[in-house]
Amino acid sequence: MMRKKVLTTSLVMIFMLSLIPISHAADVNIVILVSDNEADSTLADSVANIINAYAVIKVPWGIYNPNYSAEVLKYAPDKVIIIGGPTAVPIDYEKDLEEMDIPFERWYGKNRYETNLVVVQKLKEEFPEEFSQIETVYIVHGRDVLSMLMQRWLDALPNVAKYKSIWVFTGDGYENLSLQVLDDILEASQGRPWVEVIVTSRWIQLEHKKVPKPLFNINTDEIANFLRKKGYEVTVGNYTRGTYFTIKYAGTIGQVVLETLKLVDNKTQVAENFLDGLDIPEAKKRLNMAKEQITKAWKLYSLGNYQEAYLLAVAANRNADFVISMSAKEWNKIAQMSLNYALNREVLRLEARINALKVLGINTESVEEVLAEIKLAIKSKNYSKALKLIKEAKEELREMFINEKRHPLPVPPDHREERGGHAKNPRP
């Protein structure tokens, strides 16, 4: 029976496949750690739904904060999957997981397109049954934040049926890579009675052109031909709202643009805070550009010009990413040269872990006493003593955590939280 679905874009290709048995996700507590980068986080939410992950924890792109590692501890996971490279999700998070004896693996490539391919291949290798149950494929330009947010907003509507879906990111120069990703998905999905391939990236038209074209274009003909060569019967339906459709005339688009502006505004503020105290002229220049762009974007949004507001937000987002990346590299250099800075960073790690273990109901008084000694040692510049005590405190916290996983204690209801749309309560 053909299922109904809200259509959001210009092209829908539906093809019939043979039926295979439905599988069930393994009973493993998996937490996904990903940056708030729009592409990686969108992909992570999709993966979480496919493998029934316990939680998706999103960290600020390019920034290390031990509180997010501590958030992972609250779920006492059997395994953590990091989606995205070390620039997006700093390697410090790996150190935190290693020190608490939490198994993890990182799924990533050189960019969002290669990461997309790696994620699909890993799903295919490690979760073959779950991977074979994918029912919907969203093909979107890797930079088209708006289409990603809009599709997710539509999927979340209460009257829309929920299906297992995966994203394929494409763009100029990455067409063959995206078709390889699509091929892997379709090969594993053989047997599903219905699979929809929905091509997004049709929300913005450039009005100043004689023939309006999407800002983020996708070669739908190439995708259709690829599917036909693979032996699929492709039905193409045109669901555009007209050749001259622009973003500012779409009733629900304003809400999604607003969400985009909020995300970029927040990232710009994070970039400014991260750059504070550093002398990087180029980063300061790019920060000022980002601030000017997001300020103008808000003004245009208030006037109802959603299209131009969105374009400026995209530009501001790239500038903010540059500032964060440059600042992170500089702070890492400082940490390597300053023992005092590095030790205080370890103190923050310990404090975050202590707070997380308290949420799990673990008595951490003994480690808190050691932490007080560590702070005094750092203050008095007795760094050798501080290093020794830090090592002891970490080992004690690790043993506490491992013991909790063997014999879990009840978690106070006040500390149960939801994360990223896929998070469940921390382990009871």
Tokens 């501080």 locate to 386
User: Measured between alpha carbons, how far is 148 from 129 in angstroms, rounded to an integer?
Assistant: 26
Q: Mean pLDDT lowest for which of 73-77, 246-250, 341-345?
A: 246-250
Residue 296: the pLDDT is 97
With 0-12 / 13-18 / 19 or more C-beta atoms within 10 angstroms meaning exposed / middle / buried, residue 384 is exposed
Residue 250 predicted with pLDDT over 90: no
Please report which confidence band the pLDDT of residue 44 belongs to, taking 50, 70 and 90 as the band edges. Answer: very high
The per-residue pLDDT for range 168-209, each reduced to its tens digit, is 998 888 989 999 998 888 888 765 655 666 676 554 444 444
The per-residue pLDDT for range 344-398, each reduced to its tens digit, is 999 999 999 999 999 999 999 999 999 999 999 999 999 999 999 999 999 999 9
DSSP code, position 414? G
Q: Mean pLDDT lowest for which of 24-38, 111-125, 259-273, 309-323?
A: 24-38
User: Measured between alpha carbons, how far is 57 from 67 in angstroms, rounded to an integer?
Assistant: 11
Tokens 């106070």 locate to 412
pTM over 0.85: no
User: Measured between alpha carbons, how far is 354 from 345 in angstroms, rounded to an integer?
Assistant: 14
Better-scored residue on pLDDT, 179 or 249: 179
Residues 322/286, Cβ–Cβ less than 8 Å: yes
Mean of all residue pLDDT scores within the chain: 81
Better-scored residue on pLDDT, 217 or 402: 402
Residue 244 predicted with pLDDT over 70: no
Q: Which of the residue ranges 40-44, 180-184, 304-308 has the most confident prediction, judged by mean pLDDT?
A: 40-44
Residue 317 predicted with pLDDT over 70: yes
Please report which confidence band the pLDDT of residue 26 belongs to, taking 50, 70 and 90 as the band edges. Answer: low
Residue 226 predicted with pLDDT over 90: no
Residue 189: the pLDDT is 75
Residues 390/367, Cβ–Cβ less than 8 Å: no
Residues 274/328, Cβ–Cβ less than 8 Å: yes
What does residue 285 show for φ and ψ, rounded to 5 degrees?
-65, -45
